[in-house]
Amino acid sequence: MSTSKGFASSHNRAALLFLSPAFLLIAAFVAYPVVYAGWLSLFRWDGASAPVFQGAGNFVRLAGDPIFWRALGRNLLVALSAMVFQVFLALCIAYCLVRIVPAFSRIFLFFYLVPVMVSEICIGLLWRFMYNPYFGLVNAAFGALGLDGLKRGWLGESGTAFSAVVVVMSFTYLGLYVLLFVAAVRSVPESVYEAAEIDGAGHFTKFFSITIPMVGDAVRANSLLAIIGSLKTFSLVFVLTNGGPNHASEVVSTYLYKMGFGSFEMGYAATIGFTQMLLTAIGAWLVFRYLKRAGVGGRT
Amino acid sequence: MGAVRRWTVTNTVVLVLLTLHVLLVVFPFIWMIYSTFKTNKEFMRSVWSFPRSFSLDAYVGAWSGGALGGYAVNSLLIMAGATIITVVVATLAGYALAVYRPRWMPAVELGLTAAMAIPAYVALVPLVVMLRGAGLLDTHMGVVLPTAAFNVPVTIFIMQAFFNTLPRELFDAARMDGASEWSIFARVALPIARPAMFTAAIVNMIWVWNDFLFPVVFINSPARKTLPVGLTDFVGEHITNYPVMLAAILFAAIAPLVLFIFFERQITAALLGGAVKE
C-alpha cells in the first residue's frame, strides 16, 4: 500500500476507536476478573466477613488437594475422549456424508446439530431418564441383550458416573465437529480423489491418505476447539451428577462451584480457577514449543 | 468426466449405520416429544412406548402455576440485552480487524483468541464481588454484561470473516471521495453487513438462551431466574409427574430448535465463520 504517514495514523486511530467498545467490555468483565481472581486467591474469605491474607496458603492447600488434581485429570480425560469420540468420529462421519452418501448429507447434518442447539440442562435432564436405574433405557437395552449383569444405576455409582457423563458429552457436541469437517472435506478438490480412484484406492485408503492430510488445518483447529471446550465443561456435569457420587465425576468447574457457592470458600474457589488457567497456559506454551521444534504446526 | 457413481453395497451399509447412529443421537428428543402426550398413569405403565391416546394434560400441568412463563420472560430479556450489546460491539471490532491492518493488529487477534480460551468460571468469584459492589447482583443487567463480554470475542471473528469477504475497492472508492472513516463504516459497510449481523445475532440468542453458569450464580430471586435455571427447580418440584416434567423440558428446548429450523443456513454459516478463525 502506498500510503502517506498521516493516512496510516488516521487508520490507526480509526481502528482503535472501532475496537474500543469491545476492548472496554472484555477488559472489565473478562481480563480484570481474571487478574482479580489471582489477587483473591491470596486470601481466605467466606464472601461476607473481611478477607484474611493467606499468602501462598491457598496454593499450598491446593497442591495437596487430591480432589482438585483428580478433577483436573478428569478434564484431561474429557479432552482425550473428545478427540476420539467427537473430533475423529466427526471426521469419519463427515467423510461418509460428503463422499459416500452426499444426497443425504444435509438431513443428517441437521439431526446431528439438534443437540448442539438445545440447552445442556435439557439434554442432561433427558439423559437422567436414559440412565434411570429402574426404568432407564440403557438398562432396558442391556436387559434386552441378555446382559442383566450390566444393569446398574449409571449416574449414581462411582465406578460408572464419570464414563456415563462422558458418553452424553460425546453425543451432545459431536454435531458441531461434523459440521466443521463437512465444510473442510467438501473443499478437497475432486481431482485428487479421481487420481486415487484410477490407482484403485478404496474409501479406507482415500480417507487416511487423502482426506486426513488435506484437512490437516481443520483437524488442528477442531482439536483445539475440543480441548478448550473440555477444559471449560460445566453444565452437563452439573445437571447429570453434580460431580458425585463422592467426587467420582468431579471436574474443575463443579469443584470450584461447590467450594465458592456451597462451602463459601471464595478465596479457595478463586485459587482453583486461577491455577487451572495458569496450568492450561503453561501446557499450551509447552505444546506449541514442542510442535514448533518438531516442525509440525507450521501453518497454524 | 462427471462419472456417474453406482449405488453399491458400501453406500447402503454406510447409510444404514449413519441412520442408526443419528437415531441414537436424537432419540432422547424424539422420546421427550411423544412422551409429553401421555398421562402420568400411562407413562408409569410403560415408559418408552408410544402414547395410545393423545393427552394434553402434561402441557396444562407444566403451564399451570405460571412459573415457566415467568422464567421465559427473564430469559428473553437477558437474551435481548446480551445479544444486542454483543452484536453491536463485535460488528465495530470485526470491521476494524478486517479493514485496518496496523502492525499491532495480530496482537489484538491473539488477545481475543486467548480470551476465548478462558473458562467463564475462572472469573466467577471476582464477578460476584464486582456485581455486588455495583448493585447488579441478582439483576438481569448483572447477567447481561458478563455474558456479552464472554461472547464478544467469537462474535468478532464471525463478523471479521464476513467483512473479509468484501472487496477492498468498495472502501477505497469511498475514501477517494473524501468520506471519513466513520461514514465509510456507517454508509458503506453497515448496510451490507445487516445479514451477517443478523446471523451473528441468531447464534448469540441461542447461546445466551441456553447459558447456565452466570444465571445460576448471579441470580437468586425466583422471580428473576432464567429458563434453564428455573427448569432445574421446576423439575425438582414435579419429580412425581414425568410427562409434566418432560413438557417443561421441551418448553425450554423449543425456542432454539425453532430458530434452528428456520435459520439453519445462517446458523451453520456463523458456526463455520467463527470457528475457522481458531
Identity of the residue in A135, A176, A270 whose CB atom sits nearest the CB atom of B47:
A135
Contact criterion met (CB < 8 Å) for A100 and B14: yes
pLDDT at A4 over 80: no
Under DSSP, the state recorded for A156 is: T
Q: What is the rounded average pLDDT of the residues A262-283?
A: 93
* Distance (Å) from the alpha carbon of A80 to chain B's nearest alpha carbon: 17
Contact criterion met (CB < 8 Å) for B126 and A40: yes
If residue B181 lies in a helix (H) or strand (E), which one and from where to where?
helix B181-183
Q: Which three cell numbers stand for residue A31?
A: 481480563
**Which residues from B are below 8 Å from A242, CB to CB?**
none
Percentage of chain A exceeding pLDDT 90:
65
Ranges of each domain in chain B = 9-60, 63-276
Please tell me the distance from the alpha carbon of residue A180 to that of residue A94, in angstroms, as a whole number.
9
Q: What is the rounded average pLDDT of the residues B89-108?
A: 93
Q: What is the pLDDT of residues A227-264, one digit of tens each?
A: 999 999 999 999 999 998 999 999 999 999 999 999 99
Contact criterion met (CB < 8 Å) for A30 and B31: no
Class of domain B63-276 as given by CATH = mainly alpha
| Lowest-pLDDT range of A31-45, A188-202, A210-224, B125-139 | A188-202
Q: What is the pLDDT of residues A80-135, one digit of tens each?
A: 999 999 999 999 999 999 989 999 999 999 999 999 999 999 999 999 989 988 88
- Predicted TM-score of the model (pTM): 0.90
Contact criterion met (CB < 8 Å) for A19 and B130: no
State the pLDDT at residue B4. Answer: 52
Q: Who has greater pLDDT, A259 or A295?
A: A259
**Which residues from B are below 8 Å from A180, CB to CB?**
271-272, 275
Q: What is the rounded average pLDDT of the residues B203-217?
A: 95
State the pLDDT at residue A194. Answer: 86
pLDDT at B126 over 60: yes
Please tell me the distance from the alpha carbon of residue A102 to that of residue A94, in angstroms, as a whole number.
10
Contact criterion met (CB < 8 Å) for B125 and A40: yes
Q: What is the rounded average pLDDT of the residues A203-220?
A: 90
- Mean pLDDT across chain B: 90
Q: What is the rounded average pLDDT of the residues B238-252?
A: 89
Question: Residue A240's closest chain B neighbor by CA?
Answer: B232
- List, in order, residues 6 or more apart from B79 with CB less than 8 Å away: B205, B208, B209
Q: Are A120 and A236 in contact (CB under 8 A)?
A: yes
State the pLDDT at residue A145. Answer: 86
**Which residues from B are below 8 Å from A97, CB to CB?**
18
User: Nearest CA to A150 among A164, A169, A168?
Assistant: A164
**Which residues from A are below 8 Å from B128, CB to CB?**
47, 260, 266
**Which residues from A are below 8 Å from B15, CB to CB?**
101, 104
State the pLDDT at residue B86. Answer: 98
With the C-alpha atoms ordered A132, A136, A140, A142, is the resulting torsion angle positive or negative? negative
Percentage of chain A exceeding pLDDT 70:
95
Contact criterion met (CB < 8 Å) for A110 and B264: yes
- Per-residue b or e along B209-225, where b marks 16 or more CB atoms closer than 10 Å to that residue's CB: bbbbbbbbbbbeeeebb
State the pLDDT at residue A6. Answer: 59
Q: What is the pLDDT of residues A91-103, one digit of tens each?
A: 999 999 998 999 9
Residue B212: which pLDDT band, with cuts at 50, 70 and 90?
A: very high
- What residue type is assigned to position A121 of the chain? I
Contact criterion met (CB < 8 Å) for B29 and A222: no
Q: Are B123 and B157 in contact (CB under 8 A)?
A: no
Under DSSP, the state recorded for A222 is: H
Please tell me the distance from the alpha carbon of residue A274 to that of residue B36, in angstroms, as a whole number.
44
Q: What is the rounded average pLDDT of the residues A20-48?
A: 94
Residue A1: which pLDDT band, with cuts at 50, 70 and 90?
A: very low
CA distances from A208 to A90, A201, B96 (A): 14, 11, 40
Q: Which three cell numbers stand for residue B273?
A: 465463520
Q: What is the rounded average pLDDT of the residues B202-227?
A: 94
Contact criterion met (CB < 8 Å) for A114 and B257: yes
Contact criterion met (CB < 8 Å) for A21 and B92: yes
pLDDT at A136 over 60: yes
Which domains can be identified in chain A, with CATH numbers?
77-263 (1.10.3720.10)
Residue A285: which pLDDT band, with cuts at 50, 70 and 90?
A: confident
User: Nearest CA to A228 among B113, B203, B277, B158?
Assistant: B113
Q: What is the pLDDT of residues B141-164, one digit of tens each?
A: 999 999 999 999 999 999 999 999
Residue A33: which pLDDT band, with cuts at 50, 70 and 90?
A: very high
Q: What is the pLDDT of residues B135-144, one digit of tens each?
A: 999 999 999 9
Interface test with B, best of A42, A125, A239, A280 (most B CBs within 10 A): A125
* Distance (Å) from the alpha carbon of B199 to chain A's nearest alpha carbon: 14
**Which residues from A are below 8 Å from B22, CB to CB?**
108, 111-112
Interface test with B, best of A39, A119, A300 (most B CBs within 10 A): A119
- Per-residue b or e along B39-54, where b marks 16 or more CB atoms closer than 10 Å to that residue's CB: bbebbeeebeeeeeee
User: Nearest CA to A177 among A127, A227, A130?
Assistant: A227
| Lowest-pLDDT range of A63-67, A121-125, A134-138, B214-218 | A134-138
**Distance between alpha carbon B218 and the CA centroid of its chain, in Å?**
19
Please tell me the distance from the alpha carbon of residue B208 to that of residue B204, in angstroms, as a whole number.
6
**Which residues from B are below 8 Å from A103, CB to CB?**
none
Radius of gyration of chain B (CA): 24
B204 phi and psi angles, rounded to 5 deg: -65, -40
- Per-residue b or e along A177-202, where b marks 16 or more CB atoms closer than 10 Å to that residue's CB: bbbbbbbbbeebeeeebeeeeeeebe
State the pLDDT at residue B132. Answer: 94
**Which residues from A are below 8 Å from B117, CB to CB?**
228, 280, 284
Contact criterion met (CB < 8 Å) for B275 and A222: yes
State the pLDDT at residue B171. Answer: 85
Residue A153 gets the label, from left (phi > 0), alpha (psi -120 to 50) or beta, of beta
- What residue type is assigned to position B43 of the chain? F
Q: What is the rounded average pLDDT of the residues B8-16?
A: 90
| Lowest-pLDDT range of B107-116, B217-226, B265-274 | B265-274
Q: Which three cell numbers stand for residue B238?
A: 414435579
User: Nearest CA to B95 among B34, B32, B166, B41?
Assistant: B166
